[in-house]
């Protein structure tokens, strides 16, 4: 069964919600005054988007949890679902039950990994699946409840989800599961979730990247060997490069702070730096 991911619902207007959430933090206006300014179009969508972009470049992340997305996910395996439900902050799951859903004829939807096909082992694989299905059916026909007969079902068995997840957690899941170190099925599902968000809200999908992405960490924090083997072609520096820079700095190779630097520290802020500061939390 093919994997299917559909964005079934979402925060009505994510740009408006996220703008208001951030704006409340940085404005003397009340939330209702901010809403009224949006309603009267005193704040344009362009301005809202620019304000959000600037905030996303900072570490101020909690407003992102005010935007949510709902997905219908089907045709994934139990091997995937065990991993998926380990994410537990800012995400809610409903999953097809193997207690309440009985495979009455002993056949169940399942996935065959490409590695099995490539190795020419599909027949061995299918035999094991069929044997599990036949034994499952024998137990069901003997009156054993589905909740016990399911003990025989393999990790390859397909399952379905209805998921609600906030944008902050979706970014975190993308950080981890779009990384080439994550399992292929998980990468596929998160790629499809990203594609669904992109279809409706491309500006939100930009930030759904593996953790090494230019909008996320910007470097690889996996082991050096994993970085060397990553098919992304080392587009990002490995963390060891940053540590080297740190070591060079500590050993004085980057030069000491000069009198001129200390003058900059002592000086009064100018108009430009005032403006920068006023935008900071
Ligand atoms: C490549 C890879 C390999 C893995 N291998 C294994 C494995 O072999 N065995 C295994 O058991 N698991 C494994 N995992 C799962 C992993 O350990 C996490 O359980 C999973 O990725 C969920 O992520 P999370 O803890 O960030 O949870 P999320 O719910 O996504 O959490 C989001 C964030 O909330 C915060 N948070 C979460 N829980 C708490 C808490 N209790 N207290 C305070 N803050 C919290 C953290 O900042 C966290 O990053 C693997 C994951 C990956 C990506």
What local confidence, expressed as pLDDT, does residue 138 receive?
A: 98
What local confidence, expressed as pLDDT, does residue 280 receive?
A: 39
Band of residue 264 on the pLDDT scale cut at 50, 70, 90 = confident
| DSSP annotation of 238 | B
- Show the ligand 1 pocket: residues with CB < 6 angstroms: 86-89, 169, 172, 176, 181-182
* Mean pLDDT on 224-247: 89
Q: Distance (Å, rounded) from C-alpha 191 to C-alpha 30? A: 38
Taking only Cα atoms into account, the Rg of the chain, rounded to an integer number of angstroms, comes to 25
Q: Which of 38-42, 111-115, 229-233 has the highest mean pLDDT?
A: 111-115
What local confidence, expressed as pLDDT, does residue 226 receive?
A: 94
Band of residue 274 on the pLDDT scale cut at 50, 70, 90 = low
What is the percentage of the chain residues whose pLDDT exceeds 70?
Answer: 96
Whole-angstrom CA distances from 121 to 36, 124, 154, 187 are: 64, 5, 17, 24
* Residue listed under structure tokens 């091997």: 79
Question: What is the pLDDT of the chain when averaged over all its residues?
Answer: 93
- Which has the minimum average pLDDT: 53-62, 64-73, 160-169, 259-268? 259-268
Sheet holding 158-166, edge to edge: 4-10, 68-77, 158-166, 91-95
Burial environment of residue 190 by CB neighbours within 10 A (0 to 12, 13 to 18, 19 or more) = buried
Closest residue CA from atom 17 of ligand 1: 86
Residue 120: left if φ>0, alpha if ψ -120 to 50, beta else—which one? left
Annotated active-site residue 199? The verdict is: no
Residue 276 scores a pLDDT above 70:
no
What local confidence, expressed as pLDDT, does residue 57 receive?
A: 87
The Å distance, Cα 173 to ligand 1 centre, comes to 9
Class assignment of domain 4-94+158-213? alpha beta
Q: Distance (Å, rounded) from C-alpha 104 to C-alpha 50? A: 55
- Show the beta-strand stretches assigned E in the chain: 4-10, 68-77, 91-95, 158-166
Band of residue 145 on the pLDDT scale cut at 50, 70, 90 = very high
What local confidence, expressed as pLDDT, does residue 272 receive?
A: 64
Residue 281 scores a pLDDT above 80:
no
Quick one: which of 51, 47, 46, 63 has its CA closest to 11? Answer: 63
Residue 118: left if φ>0, alpha if ψ -120 to 50, beta else—which one? alpha
* Mean pLDDT on 175-204: 97
Residue to mutate, 82, 87, 180, 217, ligand 1, most ligand atoms under 8 Å from C-beta? 87
Count helices and strands in the chain by DSSP H and E runs: 14, 4
CA of 91, closest atom in ligand 1: 29
Strand pairing report for 91-95 and 68-77 = unpaired
Closest residue CA from atom 52 of ligand 1: 182
Residue 278 scores a pLDDT above 60:
no
Domain parsing of the chain, residue ranges: 4-94+158-213, 114-152, 219-281
What local confidence, expressed as pLDDT, does residue 271 receive?
A: 65
Residue 12 scores a pLDDT above 90:
yes
């Amino acid at each position: 069964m093919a994997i299917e991911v559909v964005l079934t619902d979402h925060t009505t207007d994510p740009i408006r919600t996220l703008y208001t959430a951030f704006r409340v933090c940085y404005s003397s206006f009340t939330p209702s005054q901010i809403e009224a300014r949006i309603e009267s179009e005193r704040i344009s969508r362009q301005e809202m988007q620019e304000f959000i972009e600037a905030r996303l470049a900072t570490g101020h992340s909690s407003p992102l949890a005010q935007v949510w997305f709902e997905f219908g996910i089907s045709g994934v395996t139990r091997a995937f679902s065990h991993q998926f439900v380990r994410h537990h902050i800012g995400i809610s799951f409903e999953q097809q039950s193997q207690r309440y859903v009985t495979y009455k004829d002993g056949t169940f939807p399942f996935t065959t990994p490409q590695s099995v096909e490539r190795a020419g082992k599909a027949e061995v694989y299918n035999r094991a699946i069929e044997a599990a299905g036949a034994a499952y059916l024998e137990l069901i026909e003997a009156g054993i409840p589905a909740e016990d007969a399911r003990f025989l079902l393999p990790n390859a068995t397909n399952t379905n989800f209805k998921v609600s997840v906030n944008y902050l957690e979706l970014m975190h899941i993308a950080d981890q599961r779009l990384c080439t170190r994550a399992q292929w099925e998980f990468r596929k599902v998160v790629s499809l979730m990203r594609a669904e968000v992109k279809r409706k809200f491309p500006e939100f999908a930009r930030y759904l990247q593996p953790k090494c992405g230019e909008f996320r960490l910007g470097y690889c924090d996996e082991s050096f060997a994993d970085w060397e083997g990553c098919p992304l072609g080392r587009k990002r520096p490995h963390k060891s490069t940053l540590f080297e820079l740190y070591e060079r700095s500590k050993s004085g190779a980057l030069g000491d702070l000069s009198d001129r630097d200390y003058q900059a520290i002592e000086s009064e802020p100018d108009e430009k730096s005032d403006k920068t500061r006023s935008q900071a939390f």
